[in-house]
Amino acid sequence: MKHILFRLLAILVACTAVPAAQAQDPPNILWITVEDMSPNLGSYGDTQAHTPNLDAFAREGVRFARAFATAPVCAPARSTIITGMYATSLGTHHMRSVGWLPDAVRPFTHYLRAAGYYTTNNHKEDYNFETPPGTWDASSTEAHWRNRPDPDQPFFAVFNLFTTHESHVRAGPAYERDVADLPPALLKDPDTLTLPPYHPDVPAVRAAWARYYNVITKMDREVAALLDQLEDDGLADETIVFYFADHGVGLPRGKRWLYDSGLHVPLIVRIPERYRTAGQGTPGTVEEALVSFVDLAPTVLNLAGVDVPEHMQGRAFLGPDLTPPRRYVYAARDRMDERYDMQRAVRDERFKYIRYYEPFKPFYQYMNTPEQGVVMKALRQGAAEGTLPPAAERLMTPTKPREELFDTEADPFETHNLADEPAYRDVLERMRAAQNRWVEETKDVGLIPEPILRAMEEEADLPAYTLVRQQEVPFARMRDVALLWTEGPAAVPTLVEALQSAHAPVRYWAAVSLGNLGAKAHPASGPLTDALADPSPTVAIAAARALCRMDQPDEALPVLVQHLRGDRQWVRLHAALVLDEIDDQARPAIDAMKAEMTYRDDMLADGKYTVRVLNRALNELLGTDNEVR
C-alpha cells in the first residue's frame, strides 16, 4: 500500500520533481538536530562526555569523522541545510538577516512533498528567509510523524533539540530545568575536566564547561526518547535516522568562529539494511570523507529516490550513483549580530586555511551576546591582568593576520599558524587558490556590503542570487581591492582609481582599504573628501571612516551623523560602527548618538543591533556601564 501510494503521488507531481526508480518502498527519514555542539560524544573519543545512547546509536550506524558546518552560527548554517546552497550565494549569510529566495530555489522539503512525503519540523526554522508556503506539512512544537493522515505515507521529520544551546550553558533557570532530572552522579565535577588551550583555566570557565557536558548528557536522553518512539511505532527498520549539530560549541572561539571548534560537528547516520547501498551504512563504521552541510539536502533527496535539482551546490554522500568525494569544504563568517567581520575558510582532510578580509579588526570584537557569558568575561579579565595562556592571548590582539593555515592532524586545536612558514608555502598557495575559486564560482555576495546588497535587490526587484547572475558584478575585483591595502602605501594610487569605479562595492572596499592605511594614505584625502557625497551612503560612510583615521574628522562626522539618523537599518549600523571605532573623535556626536538609542519596530530585531553598538560607544566615551538587550 505504501509503495503504491508513493508511486501514484509521484506520477501526479512528475512535473515538479521526478523520483528516481524505486526498487522498494521509500524510506522514512528522521533528522535529530541539536544546537551549538562540537563532536563531544563518547563515540567520537571524548572521554569527558556521558552519552551512552548516542554511543549505542553510533554502533548501529555510520559515524562521519569529518562533517563540517558552512557557517559557525545557526541561521546562515540552517539556510544552507534547508536549500542545499551556500548562504553566501543566496544572500542569507549574515546573522541575522532576511534574505530572498529566487523562484527556482525552494527548501528541499518541497521536492519531498511533491514526491509524496509527509514533512514535519519540530520546530525551529531560522533560515534567514521567510519560509515559503509548502515547505512543511507541519512546523510547530506539535509537529510529529505520528500526525500524518495516512500511516502508510512516507515521512521526513525533523526534531530540533535546543538543550545544548549556548543560552542553556549559562548558569540560570534554563540550565537548572535541563539538569533537574539527572542523577547527581552524572553531573560533571569541573575540577576533573581538561580545558582547551585557548580558554583560561579559572573556576568560572571550568564551571561553564561542566554545564556544557551536563546538558549534553540531558540531550543524549532526549535523543533516546525519540529513537524509542520509532521503535514503539514499529518504524525503526523503515527509517533512516540522521543525528547532527548545527555548528560547534556555544562558547567563545567555538560558535561564531571558523576554527574546527566552530565548524566541526558530529554526524551519525543509521540506515536500515533494506535501504543500504552496497558499501554504505555498515553498522559501527567510521567514514573519513569530507562532508559539508551543503551536502545534506542532496543526500536526503538521493536516499528518497528524488532527483537532485541542478541549482543545488552540494553532493549526495549516501545512496546510489554518487559523484567523487569532495576535496574541500568551505565556510563563511560575516556579520554576527551587530559586528561585521568577513572571513572565509577552506579545509581539506588535513589542512585548514582562513582568509581574513578585515584583519584590521580584532579577533574578539565586542558583541553583546557572548560578552554576557562567563568565559568571555574571564578572557577579558585575563587579558587585562596578563594571565592568559598563550593560545588565548593570541586572540586578544587588536588586529588579526591576513591568513591562517593549520595542520589539523599535528595541531587539532589550531593554535600554530603556518601561513608564514616556508615549508608550507605550496600548501598555503593551494588552499588560497581554492578559496579564491570558491568565491568567484559561487558568486560570494559577502563581498557586497550588506546595505549595498539590499539596495541592489530593491532597485532591481531581484533576489541577490539572481541579481549577480544577470548583472556584471566584479567579484575578483572586489576581492582584490579589499585586500590591496596590505601592500602598503604603494597601493594608494590604485585605490584612488578604484574610488572612481562604477560599482559601489568596489568603491566601498577602496575607501575601507585607504582607511586601513591611515596617515599613510594621506595623498588620497582629497578623493576621499569627494567620496563623502557618494550616491551610496555605505561608500560615504567608509570614506568618512578613512578621513577619521587620517585625523581629519571635521567633514566626516556630519556625514556619519546624517546616515545614523536615516531609515535604512544597515546603513545606520555602518555609521554606528564607525562612530564606535573612532573613539574620542566621536565626542561631538554624543548627543546625536544618544538620540538614536531607540528601538524601531519597523526594523529587523527592532533595530537592536544599532542600539547595541551605540551603547557600547557611549559607555566607552562617558565611562558608563549601561546595558541594553
Sort residue 488 into left (φ over 0), alpha (ψ -120 to 50) or beta. Answer: left
502 in any annotated domain: yes
> What is the model's pLDDT at position 323?
94
Q: Does one domain contain both 159 and 55?
A: yes
Is residue 423 pLDDT above 50, yes or no? yes
Mean pLDDT of 150-166: 98
Q: Does one domain contain both 109 and 246?
A: yes
Is residue 7 pLDDT above 50, yes or no? no
Nearest alpha carbon to residue 106 among 133, 87, 125: 133
The pLDDT tens digits of the residues spanning 391-406 come to 999 999 999 999 999 9
Q: Does one domain contain both 500 and 416?
A: no
441 in any annotated domain: no
Average pLDDT, the chain: 95
The pLDDT tens digits of the residues spanning 437-469 come to 999 999 999 999 999 999 999 999 999 999 999
> What is the model's pLDDT at position 254?
98
Q: Does one domain contain both 181 and 314?
A: yes
381 in any annotated domain: yes
In CATH, what number is assigned to the domain containing residue 491?
Answer: 1.25.10.10
Q: What is the DSSP code (8-state) at residue 276?
A: P
Predicted confidence band of residue 24 (pLDDT cuts 50, 70, 90)? confident
Which entry of 10, 74, 240, 517 is annotated as an active-site residue? 74
- Please indicate whether residue 74 is annotated as part of the active site: yes
232 in any annotated domain: yes
> What is the model's pLDDT at position 284?
98
Q: Which of 21-25, 112-116, 133-137, 560-564 has the lowest mean pLDDT?
A: 21-25
The pLDDT tens digits of the residues spanning 202-247 come to 999 999 999 999 999 999 999 999 999 999 999 999 999 999 999 9
Q: Does one domain contain both 154 and 278?
A: yes
In CATH, what number is assigned to the domain containing residue 271?
Answer: 3.40.720.10
> What is the model's pLDDT at position 54?
98
503 in any annotated domain: yes
Mean pLDDT of 249-278: 98
349 in any annotated domain: yes
Structural domain of residue 250, as residue ranges?
Answer: 2-327
Domain C-terminal end among 301, 327, 353: 327
Predicted confidence band of residue 4 (pLDDT cuts 50, 70, 90)? very low
Q: Does one domain contain both 418 and 363?
A: yes
The pLDDT tens digits of the residues spanning 62-115 come to 999 999 999 999 999 999 999 999 999 999 999 999 999 999 999 999 999 999
Q: Does one domain contain both 421 and 479?
A: no
Q: What is the DSSP code (8-state) at residue 311?
A: T
Q: How many domains does the chain have?
A: 3
Nearest alpha carbon to residue 37 among 57, 51, 20: 51
Q: Which amino acid is at 320?
A: P
* Contacts within 8 Å (CB) and 24+ apart, 133-139: 134/106, 134/110, 135/82, 135/106, 135/107, 135/109, 135/110, 136/109, 137/113
Q: Does one domain contain both 301 and 424?
A: no
Domain C-terminal end among 327, 359, 391: 327
Whether the CB-CB separation of 255 and 248 falls below 8 Å is answered with yes
Is residue 277 pLDDT above 60, yes or no? yes
The pLDDT tens digits of the residues spanning 371-380 come to 999 999 999 9
Q: Does one domain contain both 312 and 351?
A: no
237 in any annotated domain: yes
Mean pLDDT of 132-144: 98
436 in any annotated domain: no
- Residues listed for the chain: 629
14 phi and psi, to 5 degrees? -60, -25
Q: Does one domain contain both 461 and 412?
A: no
| Beta-carbon contacts of residue 584 (< 8 Å; ≥ 6 apart) | 621
Q: Does one domain contain both 93 and 201?
A: yes
Q: Does one domain contain both 399 and 546?
A: no
Predicted confidence band of residue 11 (pLDDT cuts 50, 70, 90)? very low
User: And the C-alpha cell for 258?
Assistant: 571558523
Sort residue 218 into left (φ over 0), alpha (ψ -120 to 50) or beta. Answer: alpha
Domain C-terminal end among 299, 327, 355: 327
